[in-house]
Amino acid sequence: MSHTTNFLHSIETDTIKQKKRRTRLVRIIFLFFFFAILFWIMSLLVACAFVAVQILDAKEDMLKAKAFAQELVFEDAQTSLQEAVDSFDSARGGLMVIDSVKWVPVVGHSIELFADSIDSSRLFIEALVPLFELGTDLMRLAGLSKEELAQIQEGITPEITFDDLSSETKQAILARLSASAEDLDLLLARMDIVNEEIVLLSQNVQIEPFLVFLDPIKKQMDQMRESLGILSIGARLLPDFAGLDQPTTLLLLFLNNTELRPAGGFIGSYGVLETFAGDITQLETADTYTLDDAAASEIVRIPPVPLQTYNATTKWFFRDANWSPDFAVSSQQAISLFLEEVGFIKDLTDIPSAALFHGVIGVTPTYLSDLLAITGPITVGSQTFTSENIIDTLEYQVEFGYQLQGIPVHQRKALLADLVNELKTRLYQLPSKRWEEVLAITQKAFKEKQLLLYSANPQTQEILVNVGWAGSVSSSTSDTLMVVDANLASLKSDPAVERSTQYEVFKNASDQWIGRISIAYNHKGTFDWKTTRYRTYTRVYLPLGSKLIRSSGSWLNDKTQNPTKTIGSVDQMDELGFTSFGVFTSVEPGEQNNLVFEFQLSPQVIEQIETGQYDLTVLKQAGSQNNALTIDLDFDKNVTHARPSEDAQEWGDDIYRLNTILDHDLEIYISL
């Protein structure tokens, strides 16, 4: 019996031992997988941190490359670019560990998109290498010593600037830059392709968690691309505007936009600018009236009717040349009138002149003011010009100040040449890291049409038109709107007049497609030495075939000459490929006036609306302020897509509404 009991006990003990062994094995397996999973998770976290650090390092390397380029140390910039590429490669390697979770739904696709973003960023950086190689070549040609380069970098008054280089050196530098134009264009094309890929990837919601790392890099890329774009355009314009191969003579127009005219502003002053091999070999400026008055008795050209009617002139003077809102057309007219008047004058001693012009540069005080914000105050003679006072100080000096200083009337605007030359010198003396600011201000001026160029060379002019630097009146969309003011005999009143424009499209009770333009003028000034009642001849430009139905707000003349407020007529004509309606109106200080034009849309616009697609270009007048614009389009059918987009609260109906500031030409695309 005891034998049986011991036997059963032995069996029970073996069973317990087996259970314990199985439990121990399960625990070991569990611990193995637990630590394996823990190690895997830790590896993922480390890999994620490693990738993040490498991307941040790439961003820092890009910033270093940019800083070195600003300091003109392009070899070090290239080294930093290579370090950025290496960082992206390391980040790509770190993603191999993270790839182990690609089997997880959504996460896997997000990782693939992130990897694509890294690859695209790497390609973008590699695309910059030829640009820095070009910079190295240019610095080699300049032949600057380390001490001279350090002075430029630090912004201390340098012993040598670009202006001090020999003509041969300047010509070699500009020739190398000009010869690189096609390479720069190819580089831009590559960068645009890569940039577009990055933009598309960043719009994917699955990559949103990674944008905190990619957005700063994207911002740096955009800035580099913008600077490169200006450099590429400049390389193509050098031969015609810098006198690279032969001396170039340019007509410089100072467009006073406080007295707004169709192509930028009243031509109160002009300059004759000669360049050769990158040098400004001559710059003379003068009062436009000096030229006009000397030739007045011989002039027989008849000005446009509005100038005769509202500006009390029977002759078309050079100062009124820019009647067309298209800067190229006005430039050609200015050259023609200038050369004609010069031909009438026997003694040109005090009148800057030339036998021909290769191009025209139009500049408004707005651009000069922005440049002074960078250089700081400039003193010319007894006058100190700042960004804030240049417009008023310059205007006062040429209207009244010259008399107090005993300056002859024909020399009252000669200080402009001194101001421009000193401004050029101060810009050359800026530290190299601030050159990007000058490029940005210049790009802004071209965009807002405060700086305009015209070339008599058709190939160069085509480039200017394509890049938007020509102030051209053209459109690739079916619908177009442009409002053009011409200040006629109302002093320098434009800064005191606030403008806003509203453009509406709708169907009327007769089932006709109608357009309506409302222009509000709010005169916030008072009568003083530079401000009076605002007198403007206003034209609106619309697609050919637009038919006027009615208008309101126009006057036969201003309050003093038309006390009964007789309504003025509307001038209709086709010009520049558009139909225009023109009227005169006037606004007293402290008062408001609204101009309204209602018209049938042109057949081409109606056809586009009815096919479910609509596009519109709103052109900004050269020299004009950045005024308010409201677009209100009722298509009688739902708007399915629009660029630029409406505010979210406006979505889901048949009306497109946009409230914006017109600071550049605006294009709108709508699907119905």
pLDDT tens for each residue of 524-565: 999 999 999 999 999 999 999 999 999 999 999 999 999 999
Pairing of strands 571-575, 641-643: unpaired
What would be the CATH architecture of the domain defined by 248-467?
A: 3-Layer(aba) Sandwich (3.40)
What's the mean pLDDT in 425-433?
82
Spans of all domains in the chain = 36-240, 248-467, 479-671
Rounded average pLDDT over 110-115: 67
CATH architecture assignment, domain 479-671: Sandwich (2.60)
Average pLDDT over residues 70-76: 77
Mapped onto helix, strand or coil, the DSSP state of residue 216 is helix
What's the average model confidence in pLDDT over 299-316? 96
Q: What pLDDT, on the 0 to 100 scale, is given for residue 91?
A: 76
Residue 589 in this model has a pLDDT that exceeds 90 = yes
pLDDT of residue 499: 98
- Residue 521: pLDDT band (50, 70, 90) is very high
DSSP reduced 3-state for 348: coil
pLDDT higher at 151 or 57: 57
Confidence (pTM): 0.84
Torsion of CA 135, 139, 140, 144, to 10 degrees: -170
Q: What percent of the chain has pLDDT over 90?
A: 50
* pLDDT score at 332: 98
Q: Do residues 635 and 654 lie in contact, with contact meaning Cβ atoms separated by under 8 Å?
A: yes
Output the pLDDT for position 104: 54
Residue 96 above 80 pLDDT?
A: no
CB atoms within 10 A of CB 528: 12
With a cut of 80, say whether residue 130 has pLDDT above it.
no
Cis peptide before 644 (omega within 30 of 0): yes
CA–centroid distance for 254 within its chain: 20
Q: Alpha-carbon distance 548 to 506, whole Å? A: 15
Rounded Cα distance between 192 and 121, Å, is 12
Compute the distance between CA of residue 400 and CA of residue 406 in angstroms, rounded to an integer.
Answer: 11
Residue 591 buriedness (CB in 10 A; 0-12 / 13-18 / 19+): middle
Whether the pLDDT of residue 445 is over 60: the answer is: yes
Give the chain's mean pLDDT: 85
Whole-number pLDDT of residue 181: 82
Looking at per-residue confidence, does 101 or 319 come out higher? 319
Query: Which run of H or E residues covers position 280?
Result: strand 279-287
Q: CA 559 to CA 535: how far, in whole Å?
A: 10
